[in-house]
Amino acid sequence: MGCSGFVYSLCIAKSLIETNVAKCVLISTSDTYSKLIEIKNENVSSIFGDAAASCIVEKNDIKTSIGLFDLGSDGEGFRDLIVHNRSLKKDFNEENSLCMNGPAMFSFAIREVPKTITNTLKKNNLKKKDIDYFILHQANLYMLNSIREKLNIDKEKMLNFIDYGNTTSSTIPIVLYEGIKSKKIKSGNKVLICGFGLGASWSSTIIKVSQKLINNINKVID
């Protein structure tokens, strides 16, 4: 699911645990878009970065820590971010590198992201004022600011960390990690996370940060 992948994976993990198929689920996101990018194409080469992130979801966490989800896709936008015939061609060239229709992807995000965030709040019986932080897929700063302004979200509540660029499915866990590392995100905080992009697709939910999560990340930092 590309940029929506982490939240979709979180939904699958929660479902597996709630139906007693699993007690503990490892989620790992890893994308190397550098393999798909023609360096001369500055529309994409200046945006994307490679990264990986992992987390573990356990049975004791899901009832209090992970809320209801809002998921969706619109197949009409599949050509707006695509690699043509990549699996069929051995030689890498401009014709089979990553192609992105930037204006179309921007229009999609401005149209659908506010909807999924609003739907997620309604499903969880919460309002914007109840959310401590919003973490959106780190597509690019201009897009994130445009979405924030459309939703009228306080700048301080929108966490961004774009040092690594657009790392597709890893952007949300990276920002969550950095938010806890910097001590902005604290135990008990409600964080709305939202992925969007490839497909075109979108995915949102709300997580309540536990002290256990804080402690585990602090162990990694130490």
pTM of the entire structure?
0.91
Instruction: Measure the CA–CA gap between 171 and 137, rounded to whole angstroms.
Output: 6
Confidence of residue 152 (pLDDT cuts 50, 70, 90): very high
- What is the sign of the dihedral through the CA atoms of 201, 101, 154 and 160? positive
pLDDT at residue 89 greater than cutoff 60: no
Token pair of 158, please? Answer: 């929108």
Q: Tell me the residue length of the chain.
A: 222
Section 67-96 average pLDDT: 76
Give the pLDDT band (50/70/90) at residue 92: low
Average pLDDT over residues 11-38: 91
51 forms beta bridges with: 31
pLDDT tens digits, 31-47: 888 888 777 777 777 78
Please state which of the ranges 31-45, 96-110, 128-142 shows the lowest mean pLDDT. 31-45
Domains, the chain, with CATH or none:
2-221 (3.40.47.10)
In DSSP terms, 30 is beta-bridged to 52
Burial of 201 (0-12, 13-18, 19+ CB in 10 A): buried
Please write the tens of the pLDDT for every residue from 200-211: 899 999 999 999
Strands 81-83 and 98-100: antiparallel
Quick one: average pLDDT of 38-65? 83
Q: Which of 57-61, 82-86, 120-124, 179-183 has the lowest mean pLDDT?
A: 82-86
Higher pLDDT pick, 85 / 14 = 14
Q: Is the pLDDT of residue 180 over 80?
A: yes
In 3D space, the residue among 128, 84, 137 whose CA is nearest the CA of residue 109 turns out to be 137
Q: HSE on the CB side for 200, CA within 13 Å?
A: 21
Alpha helices in the chain (DSSP H): 5-18, 42-45, 59-65, 102-123, 141-151, 171-181, 211-221
82 burial level (CB within 10 Å; 0-12, 13-18, 19+): middle
Catalytic residues: 3, 137, 166
